[in-house]
């Protein structure tokens, strides 16, 4: 088995002539939280569904815990949990009944743990699915994904329907808890501040390709916004690793990747008569720079 619990190599998924995934390379280390980001239609759900063997690749390879997902033995599948917004639940069953039914597929289903989570999230076991709000249905889906204490949890936009308090409670406590057990979590979300709070690694997909994949810490320390202001006309120079650049005679602003202290020194030396500001960015600003490229 490789160092990665999930790894894709040149993964392609085509729908007719359209490549939803276009040679996607993804590497997920065991025991960490991996946040998958991308604009609408970037390929996040397609990727997660392939990890779950709900879709077959057109080309390329995918490895999940040492197996090609469609060939993974049932026993091994029990080590994975999955929740997505599009999950269909039988509407007339009670929450408790759905959880018991779901649990019957897993040797390791932990009823006490499940009950604790339902209590913690304020989800009544006696309510019927059709009576649940979207957020409460999502909470149910999430409990179904973790009740068997899986090694790998795949969550597709898990907190979209949760109110801010439930989202904070759910995301932080679940991630903390699962993290303590050494579970790997892959989650896609458009809630970038949530992802910034909980992710160890970040992958940004655009048009089916991985634009950048690294630890959140490295991503934040290697992406910088630079502003150069001068009363004199600024020299026209070319920049490496540009994500965004705007320049006029007296003002240059840009966002750059692969930044380091050496580049900071060089740029200050290059413009001795200008004011050079070098700023850190948050995950949302970094994402906008990569995805809006």
269 sits near ligand ATP (criterion: CB under 6 A): no
**179 versus 190: smaller Cβ distance to ligand ATP:** 190
Q: 111-120 and 134-146 are packed helices; what angle lies between their axes, rounded to 10 degrees? A: 150
* Cβ–Cβ < 8 Å for 170, 162: yes
Give the span between the Cα atoms of 151 and 113, in whole angstroms: 15
Minimum gap (Å) between residue 188 Cβ and ligand ATP = 7
Torsion over CA: 252, 255, 257, 263 (sign): positive
* Count, residues near ligand ATP per rule CB under 6 A: 10
Could you say which DSSP state residue 129 is in?
G
Contacts (CB under 6 A) with ligand ATP, residues 198-237: none
Contacts (CB under 6 A) with ligand ATP, residues 159-178: none
Minimum gap (Å) between residue 207 Cβ and ligand ATP = 8
* Cβ–Cβ < 8 Å for 172, 139: no
Fill in the per-residue mask, 8 to 27: x = in contact with ligand ATP (CB under 6 A), - = not in contact. Answer: -------x----x-------
Fill in the per-residue mask, 44 to 83: x = in contact with ligand ATP (CB under 6 A), - = not in contact. Answer: xxx-------------------------------------
Determine which residue in the list 41, 91, 164, 292 makes contact with ligand ATP, applying CB under 6 A.
41
Stretch that binds ligand ATP, among 42-50, 89-97, 139-147, 268-276 (CB under 6 A): 42-50
43 sits near ligand ATP (criterion: CB under 6 A): yes
Fill in the per-residue mask, 102 to 141: x = in contact with ligand ATP (CB under 6 A), - = not in contact. Answer: ----------------------------------------
Give the span between the Cα atoms of 199 and 209, in whole angstroms: 20
Give the span between the Cα atoms of 20 and 46, in whole angstroms: 7
β-pair partners for 28: 6
Nearest C-alpha neighbor of 63 from the set 13, 14, 4, 150? 4
Minimum gap (Å) between residue 135 Cβ and ligand ATP = 18
Minimum gap (Å) between residue 84 Cβ and ligand ATP = 10
Q: Please, what's the b/e burial string for 216-243 (b: 16 or more CB within 10 A of its CB; e: otherwise)? A: beebbebbbbbebebeeebeeeeeeeeb
Q: Name the site residues for ligand ATP (rule: CB under 6 A).
A: 15, 20, 38, 40-46
């Amino acid at each position: 088995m490789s160092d990665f619990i999930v790894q894709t190599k040149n993964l392609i998924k085509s729908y007719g002539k359209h490549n939803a995934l276009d040679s996607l390379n993804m590497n997920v280390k065991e025991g960490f939280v991996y946040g998958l980001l991308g604009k609408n239609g970037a390929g996040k759900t397609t990727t997660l569904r392939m990890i779950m063997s709900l879709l077959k690749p057109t080309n390329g390879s995918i490895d999940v815990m040492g197996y090609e997902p469609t060939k993974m033995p049932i026993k091994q599948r029990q080590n994975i949990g999955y929740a997505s917004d599009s999950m269909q639940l039988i509407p007339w069953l009670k929450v408790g009944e759905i959880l018991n039914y779901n649990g019957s597929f897993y040797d390791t289903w932990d009823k006490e743990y499940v009950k604790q989570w339902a209590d913690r999230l304020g989800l009544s076991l006696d309510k019927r699915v059709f009576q649940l709000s979207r957020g409460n249905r999502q909470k149910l889906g999430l409990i179904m994904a973790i009740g068997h204490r899986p090694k790998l949890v795949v969550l597709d936009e898990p907190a979209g329907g949760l109110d801010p308090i439930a989202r904070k409670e759910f995301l932080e406590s679940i991630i903390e808890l699962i993290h303590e057990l050494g579970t790997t979590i892959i989650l896609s979300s458009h809630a970038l501040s949530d992802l910034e709070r909980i992710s160890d690694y970040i992958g940004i997909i655009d048009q089916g390709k991985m634009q950048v994949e690294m630890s959140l810490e490295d991503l934040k320390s290697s992406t910088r916004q630079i502003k150069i202001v001068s009363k004199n006309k600024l020299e026209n120079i070319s920049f490496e690793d540009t994500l965004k650049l705007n320049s006029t005679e007296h003002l240059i602003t840009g966002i750059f990747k692969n930044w380091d202290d050496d580049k900071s020194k060089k740029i200050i030396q290059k413009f001795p008569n200008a004011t050079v500001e070098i700023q850190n960015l948050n995950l949302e600003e970094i994402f906008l720079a990569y995805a809006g490229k």
